[in-house]
Amino acid sequence: MLPVAAVLPSSSVAAEETVTTAAPAARASRYDATIRWTEHGIPHITAKDWPSLGFGSGYAAAEAAICTLADTLITARGQRSRWFGPNGNYDDYVSMNGTNLQIDTLVTDIHNRRVVEKLLTSKAGPGTQARQMVAGYAAGVNKWLRANRVTDPACAGAGYLRPNVTALDLWYGVYTANVLASTGTFVKEIVDAAPPTPDDLGLPVSLPRVASDVTPERAARIRAALRPDVAFGSNATAIGGDKTTTGKGMLLGNPHFPWRGRYHFTQQHLTIPGVYDVAGASLIGSPVVNIGFNNDVAWSHTVSTAYRFTPYEYKLLVDPTLYLTASGPKRLERRVVEVKVKRENGSIGTVREDLYRTDVGYVVDSAATLMGWTPLTVWALRDANGEQLRTIDTFLNMGKARTVRDLLRRQDAGGGMPWVNTTAADRRGDVLYADHSVVPHVTNSMKALCRSEIGIVLDQVAGLPGLDGTFADGRCAWGADKDAQRPGILGPRNLPDVVRRDWVHNANDSYWTPNDQVRLEGFPTIIGCEQCPRTMRTRMVAQYVMDQLADGGKESPASLASHQYENRMRAAEVMREDGALDAVCAATGEKRACEVLKRWDGRSDVDSVGTHIFEVFLTRLPDNGVWKEAFSFTDPFNTPRGLNVDNSLVVRAMQRAIDSLRRRKIPFDAPWGTLQVAGDRGAPAIPLGGGMGDEAGNANALAARKTKQNKRFFRPITYGSSHIQSIAFLSGGRVSARTILTYGQSENPRSPFSTDQTRLFSQEKWVSFAWTDAEIERDLLRTERIRG
C-alpha cells in the first residue's frame, strides 16, 4: 500500500485498489476487512463480522495516529520509564499528569493486582462483541505495523514500534481512560503518599472546620484540584421535530477536547452490511464510535459535573498505618512495585516504589484538597469507574439505536458511560438530554449520615461528600439500585434525563437546565448542583436556539450548522447592554484601545478587530462585584447581568488589559486571525476563529495549553473545538451530515490530511460526510482490503 505520506490527496485522481495480506498460509484469514478511504483520509470500514470490523478500525487508527496510539499502549503497560526514562513527564492534557515513574508505579500496581483480568471475567466486564472488536483492533494495529514504514518524525524508528499489541493492552488502555476523572486525577498524591513523620506531619497550613473558613480563592483551588477535567468541555444541542423545518430531529455537537494526545479524535465509518452502520469519531485506542450517528439517531457528549469517586476518611490509631473500622483496627496494605527504568547510559535498571491501600482503594495524600495524611486521619478513594470495563459495550450498542429512547436504554444496559452527558436527536423528531454516566450510589440521605467533619466542608465547598471510612463496609458503603447494571452505582431512575420535541442542550453545566423551560431537580448532589449559575458559554449555546425560535421561527439544517461559526460572545453582548462596556473603557482615559473596542463586532471571527482586548479584560476581572444584578435561579439564562461601571476594580481590569497588550506590543487593531492560530504539532500558523469559552461565552471554544508550535503568536491553539458534527435527518431516509475535524485526520505532519480540515475550519467550512455508498464512491480516493 501507499505509505501514509503518499496517500492520494484528491478524488480527481482515479481511486486505487490495494490488497494487503499476510504471508501465504494454508489456513483462511481470521480477519478480513475492506477500507474505502475518502477525501480527508476518512476510512469507511466494511467487514462481515465483529472481529474483522475491529481489525479494520485498528488498522485505520494506526494509519492516522500511530505515534499517539503507541504512546497510549506504552502507558497502559506501565512501561514509560523503560522507554523514555523515569524523570520525563507524562501529560494526557486533561487530568493525568506526573513523571513517567509515577505513572508507571500506579499502572504497574493495577497490573499486579490483575484488575483488568478480573473485570474481564465479571458482570462489570465486556460482552462478546466488544471483546471481538478489541481483539480485532489489536490485530489491526499489528497488521499496519508489519505492512508500513512509520514516517511520523515524532516516533519514526522507535524501538517500541513492534507488532506485539495484545487485546489486554487495549483493555488496560480503556481502563486508564475510564479513571480519567477519578484515580487518574490523583496519580502523584497516590504514588507519593507516605506515612507522616515527626518532621512532616502532612498538615495543611490551616485545616478548616466549616466551609466559611475557606476563602473563595482557596475554594476555587480545591475545586480545580478535584476536577481538573472540568476544562475538558463541550457543547451539544438537539432540536426536536416540533421546532425544525424538517419535522425531524437535528443535532449540533462540538466536543472541546485536546488537539493532541490520547484524547484527540480520529474519524471512522463502521459497517457490517445489514447488521451495523455507524459513523463519527473515536478516541485513540477505541475500536468503536464514541460520538456519531447512524441512519436514525445522532448523539454527542459533554463532560458531566458528576463525581466518579468518593473519598473516605479513616481515623488512625497511634501507628499512622493502623486505621479504625467498625470491625476493629486494620493495617494499611503497603504494596511494593518494581518498575523497569531506562538509565542515563541507556541500560535498563529496576526501581522499587510503594503505595498504600485500604479495603476501598488507594490512599491519597492531598493536603491541597483537605485530604492530607496526618497523624490523626488518612484518606482513601473508592472509584466507580475503577470497578467497570463496560465502556466499549456501551458505545458499541448505542450505535445500534433506532430512537433516542432506544439509545438511552442501550446506554443504561451497558452501564459504562464513564464521565459524560449524552445529547441526542432521532428521525422521529424526539431529542434527549441525559446524565446517565457512572456515578457512585451516594444518595443525599446517605451522605447526611456518613460525612466526616472535613467531608462536610468538602461537600459544601466542592460538592464532593467526604465519607466516614470507619463504616465504609457498612452503613457508609455505596448503595445499590435494582435498575442499575451492577451494585454501587446510581441506576437510571436516580439519574436525570428528559425526552422532548422542542430542544435540549448542554455545555458542561449541571443537568438542571436542559433548556430554557425545563428544570430537572431532586437528584443526589453528587451528580451536580441545582438552582446554580450557568456559564456564559451555556447561556450562548441556549441563546442561539432561543433567538432562532423567537417569533415562531424554526431551525433548519443550515441554520443549526451556522451556529458553529457565528462566533458570538455572550459575555460581550451582556456587558454591552446600556453602553456599559464602553463606559468602563472610557473611565480608563485610554483613547485608541477604546475606539477599537467600541467599533468591535462583538465576535471572534478571524477578521474581528478588538476580540483580544475584550478577552484579556475578562481574565483580569475581580471575583466579586462585576455585576449589578446577581444570579437568580428564576432567570438562569439572563442573570447575572448589568456590568458594574461604578466598581473601580472593573475599570482597573480594563486598564490592566490595555497595559498588558501595550507591553507585549500587540496592536489594539490587530485582526483576531493574526493573533489566534493553529498550534498543534506540525501545524502552520493557520488563522482561527473562536476563542475563550466559559468566561467569554463563546460556543466555538478554543484555548492555548502547553503549546510548543507557533509560540510567537498571541494564542496558538492546542485545545477546544474538535470533532464537530451537524446532523439532520431528512425525508426519504436521507441524512445530511456536516462534519469537521478541526486538527485533521492524521497527526503526521507529513500527511496531506494533517492540516486540510484545519484550513476548512479556518474558512468556516464543513466536510460533507460520505454516508451512503453513492457518496463514498463520489469521494473515494482508494480501496484497501486487509487480511490477517
Q: Of all helices (H) and strands (E), which one includes residue 504?
A: strand 503-506
List, as one string, the DSSP characters of 120-144: HTSTTS--HHHHHHHHHHHHHHHHH
Residue 603: closest CA among 540, 511, 519: 540
In sequence order, what are the beta bridge partners of 299? 292, 424
Q: Measured between alpha carbons, how far is 375 from 416 in angstroms, rounded to an integer?
A: 38
Are residues 528 and 522 in contact, defined by beta-carbon separation less than 8 angstroms? no
What is the crossing angle of helices 648-663 and 611-619, to 10°? Answer: 120
Can you point out the beta strands (E) in 470-623? 497-500, 503-506
> Residue 54: how many CB atoms within 10 A of its CB?
33
Residue 5 is placed in which grid cell? 505520506
In sequence order, what are the beta bridge partners of 425? 298, 431
Residue 698 is placed in which grid cell? 463563546
At residue 439, the 3 state secondary structure works out as: coil
Are residues 719 and 93 in contact, defined by beta-carbon separation less than 8 angstroms? yes
Residue 504: closest CA among 755, 253, 722, 700: 253
Cα 122–chain centre separation: 27
Residue 90 is placed in which grid cell? 507524562
Residue 556 is placed in which grid cell? 433548519
In sequence order, what are the beta bridge partners of 720? 257, 702
Residue 497, by phi and psi: left (phi above 0), alpha (psi -120 to 50) or beta?
A: beta
Are residues 717 and 560 in contact, defined by beta-carbon separation less than 8 angstroms? no
Residue 77: closest CA among 141, 171, 161, 154: 171
Location of C-alpha cell 498505618: 321
Are residues 68 and 262 in contact, defined by beta-carbon separation less than 8 angstroms? yes
Can you point out the beta strands (E) in 679-717? 702-703, 715-717
Q: Measured between alpha carbons, how far is 503 from 249 in angstroms, rounded to an integer?
A: 9
Residue 139 is placed in which grid cell? 490485530
What phi and psi values does residue 596 have, to the nearest 5 degrees?
-65, -45
Cα 367–chain centre separation: 26
| 640 upstream amide cis, omega within 30 of 0 | yes
Q: Is 234 part of the annotated catalytic residue set?
A: yes
Q: Which of 52, 95, 234, 751 does the annotation list as catalytic?
A: 234
Return all residues near 26 (Cβ < 8 A) that are at least 6 apart. none
Query: How do beta strands 234-239 and 250-258 pair?
Result: antiparallel
> Residue 548: how many CB atoms within 10 A of its CB?
18
Alpha carbon dihedral 91, 435, 494, 513, in 10-degree steps, equals 120
Query: How do beta strands 16-20 and 780-787 pair?
Result: parallel
At residue 431, the 3 state secondary structure works out as: strand
Which positions are annotated as active-site residues? 234
